[in-house]
């Protein structure tokens, strides 16, 4: 079959151009489908953008929807020897702290060995490790082949016996094995006993009393302190059970009584509320971009292409409307019912929130519990942030509105793809049929032209003969 470019050569007709025009006309039927595919692909991407924006806001909302936020406290110490962290249970006030000793982990060190890799034992042995505060004894197997300092170190560390082993190199040909309790305090002081090789027995046996070849470099020690003149002893330097909601972190001894001050931290609450309002505005910016509308220009038949892909979308519109309704809490048990009472007002035109930080700081400082009642409520069904949290979880779930909308668009795109393929195949078949017909026409006309030329020549010859 002749190619399109060769059509009409035999007949002299412009069949190639005609077929090109017919093909272009037929393919116009694909344009509406392509336009729909482009629009729905943009819509699918827009739903993903919308979901991501809601997830970002959900993070800010989760920070606000915390009861602990409204009872946050801050600490200050008159000494660098200790610091403190608090929970919502911490009571504001001043505490007198006097640290007389820090908790320490016991360290035992062996005598000097000339090599860290040379085996020391002539037979297999078992090292038994027991901590003072535990009824459990951990047995560590040490083979003769692996009885070097390195081998003993590795065997102890693998045993998870509450003891960490390391090798100290004091100089060339001077190595020591160091054993340190994994935790501080006298309950973690260790005793060691070896059964088997006499060399290892001599080197590692340690009962805590009597002579031994192991040197106690650091003795196990408990932390000792007083809180408001009440004596406290702890195996750890991090003490969480002395004061409710307060963990003391000791780093040094003090020179007499020092002061720890716990005070309410309203700044953290105010910051979280302001950040939440900013996050809400950022979410609205995304919504506005996705629903942007540009009016049709004069003498323009189609809508401006700069319109947002979710213009008029019911899913986005419903979510935005519900969120706006959640900005007040008329059921609040406090005098605070709306955000405007704490310095956060809503622009009637854009819907964005404007924060008066001075008014917000004053409200949070004066009545954090009242604001908590409005924003958090019972943490489930009441409270601005609580209701937002419940709704966001639903919207963003695998069976929520956004996923349902995405599934619908994906289904439509699949249908459009099948429709495009069907129409394209029909067009290809039509063009192939027309090309075949045009080729046949070209051949037929070519033959007729040849016959005409032949007959004309014969008539000419006959006329010349008659003359």
Per-residue pLDDT reduced to its tens digit, 112-121:
999 999 999 9
pLDDT digits (tens, 9 = 90+) for 204-222: 999 987 668 899 999 999 9
Helix and strand numbers, DSSP H then E, in the chain: 10, 17
DSSP state of 220: -
Which residues fall within 8 angstroms of residue 338, CB to CB, at 6 or more apart? 327, 328, 329, 374
Task: Tell me the average pLDDT across 62-82.
Answer: 89
User: Whose CA is closest to 110, among 47, 62, 178, 57?
Assistant: 178
Tell me the pLDDT of the chain averaged across its residues: 89
Give helix 31-64 / helix 314-325 axis angle, nearest 10°.
Answer: 20
Measured between alpha carbons, how far is 371 from 71 in angstroms, rounded to an integer? Answer: 11
Which residues fall within 8 angstroms of residue 292, CB to CB, at 6 or more apart? 306, 307, 308, 311
Q: Which CATH number fits domain 107-218: 2.60.40, 3.30.460, 3.40.50, 1.10.3470?
A: 2.60.40
Residue that has been written with the tokens 């029909």 in this structure = 426
Task: Tell me the average pLDDT across 19-37.
Answer: 79
For the chain, what are the domain ranges? 6-72+265-292+306-442, 73-102+223-264, 107-218
The pLDDT of residue 6: 62
Confidence of residue 266 (pLDDT cuts 50, 70, 90): confident
User: Whose CA is closest to 252, among 272, 213, 225, 232?
Assistant: 225
User: Whose CA is closest to 356, among 282, 279, 268, 274?
Assistant: 274
Top-confidence residue, 437 or 252 = 252
**Sign of the CA dihedral with 233 first, then 235, 236, and 237 last:** positive
The pLDDT of residue 286: 96
458: helix, coil or strand?
helix
The pLDDT of residue 304: 55
Q: Which tokens is 416 given?
A: 């459009």
The pLDDT of residue 452: 74
Task: Tell me the average pLDDT across 60-72.
Answer: 87
| Res. 27: pLDDT tops 80 | no
pLDDT digits (tens, 9 = 90+) for 302-317: 555 678 899 989 999 9
Predicted TM-score (pTM) of the model is: 0.63
Answer yes or no: are the C-beta atoms of 348 and 338 closer than 8 Å.
no
| Residues recorded for the chain | 467
Measured between alpha carbons, how far is 325 from 317 in angstroms, rounded to an integer? Answer: 13
Residue that has been written with the tokens 């924006």 in this structure = 53
| Res. 339: pLDDT tops 80 | yes
| Res. 299: pLDDT tops 60 | no
Which residues fall within 8 angstroms of residue 334, CB to CB, at 6 or more apart? 367, 369, 370, 371, 373, 374
| Res. 88: pLDDT tops 70 | yes
Q: Which tokens is 3 given?
A: 């190619």
| Res. 424: pLDDT tops 50 | yes
Task: Tell me the average pLDDT across 292-305.
Answer: 63
| Res. 96: pLDDT tops 70 | yes
The pLDDT of residue 148: 96
User: Whose CA is closest to 113, among 140, 143, 163, 151?
Assistant: 151
DSSP state of 72: -
Confidence of residue 1 (pLDDT cuts 50, 70, 90): very low
The pLDDT of residue 32: 83
Residue that has been written with the tokens 């002539």 in this structure = 122
The pLDDT of residue 13: 64
The pLDDT of residue 229: 94
| Res. 318: pLDDT tops 90 | yes
Beta strands 107-109 and 174-181 are antiparallel
Measured between alpha carbons, how far is 220 from 189 in angstroms, rounded to an integer? Answer: 6
> 423, exposed or middle or buried, with CB in 10 Å at 0-12, 13-18, 19+?
middle
44: helix, coil or strand?
helix
Task: Tell me the average pLDDT across 40-52.
Answer: 93
pLDDT digits (tens, 9 = 90+) for 444-462: 777 777 777 777 777 877 7
Measure CA 153 to chain center.
40
| Res. 11: pLDDT tops 60 | no
Q: Above pLDDT 70, what percent of the chain?
A: 93
Top-confidence residue, 166 or 369 = 166
Task: Tell me the average pLDDT across 408-432.
Answer: 85
Of 3-7, 287-291, 337-341, the least confident = 3-7
Task: Tell me the average pLDDT across 322-338.
Answer: 92
Task: Tell me the average pLDDT across 43-61.
Answer: 95
Task: Determine the straight-line distance between the first and last CA of the chain, rounded to whole angstroms.
Answer: 46
Taking CA atoms, 38 is separated from 44, 300, 309, 413, in Å, by 10, 20, 10, 9
Task: Tell me the average pLDDT across 58-71.
Answer: 88
- Express the helix, strand and coil content of the chain in percent, nearest 5 each: 45, 20, 30
């Amino acid at each position: 079959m002749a190619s399109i470019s060769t059509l009409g050569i035999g007949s002299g007709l412009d069949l190639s151009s005609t077929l090109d025009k017919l093909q272009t006309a037929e393919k116009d039927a694909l344009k509406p489908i392509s336009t729909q595919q482009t629009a729905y692909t943009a819509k699918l991407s827009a739903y993903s953008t919308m979901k991501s924006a809601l997830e970002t806001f959900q993070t800010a909302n989760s920070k606000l929807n915390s009861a602990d936020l409204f009872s946050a406290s801050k600490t200050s110490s008159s000494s660098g020897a200790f610091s403190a962290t608090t929970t919502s249970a911490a009571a504001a006030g001043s505490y007198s702290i006097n640290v007389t000793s820090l908790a320490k982990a016991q360290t035992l060190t062996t005598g000097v060995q000339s090599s860290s890799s040379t085996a020391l034992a002539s037979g297999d042995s078992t090292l038994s490790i027991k901590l003072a505060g535990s009824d459990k004894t951990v047995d560590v197997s040490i083979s003769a082949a692996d009885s070097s300092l390195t081998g003993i170190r590795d065997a102890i560390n693998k045993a998870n016996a509450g003891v960490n082993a390391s090798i100290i190199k004091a100089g060339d040909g001077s190595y020591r094995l160091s054993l340190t309790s994994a935790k501080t305090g006298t309950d973690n002081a260790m005793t060691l006993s070896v059964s088997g090789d006499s060399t290892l027995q001599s080197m590692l046996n340690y009962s805590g009393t009597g002579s031994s070849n192991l040197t106690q470099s650091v003795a196990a020690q408990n932390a000792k302190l007083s809180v408001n003149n009440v004596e406290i002893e702890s195996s750890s330097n991090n003490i969480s059970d002395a004061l409710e909601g307060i963990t003391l972190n000791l780093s040094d001894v003090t020179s007499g009584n020092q002061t720890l001050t716990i005070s309410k931290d309203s700044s953290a609450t105010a910051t979280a509320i302001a950040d939440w309002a900013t996050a809400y505005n950022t979410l609205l910016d995304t919504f506005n971009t996705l629903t942007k509308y540009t009016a049709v220009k004069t003498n323009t038949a189609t809508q401006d292409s700069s319109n947002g892909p979710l213009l008029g979308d019911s899913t986005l519109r419903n979510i935005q409307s519900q969120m706006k309704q959640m900005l007040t809490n008329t059921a609040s048990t406090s005098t605070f019912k709306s955000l405007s009472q704490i310095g956060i007002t809503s622009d009637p035109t854009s819907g964005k929130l404007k924060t008066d930080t001075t008014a917000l700081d004053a409200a949070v400082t004066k009545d954090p519990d009242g604001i908590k009642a409005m924003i958090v409520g019972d943490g489930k069904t009441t409270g601005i942030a609580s209701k937002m949290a419940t709704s966001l979880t639903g919207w963003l779930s695998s069976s929520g509105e956004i996923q349902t909308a995405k599934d619908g668009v994906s289904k439509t795109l699949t249908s459009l793809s099948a429709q495009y393929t069907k129409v394209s195949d029909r067009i290809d078949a039509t063009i192939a049929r027309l090309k075949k017909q045009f080729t046949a026409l070209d051949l037929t006309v070519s033959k007729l032209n040849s016959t005409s030329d032949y007959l004309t020549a014969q008539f000419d010859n006959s006329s010349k003969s008659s003359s």
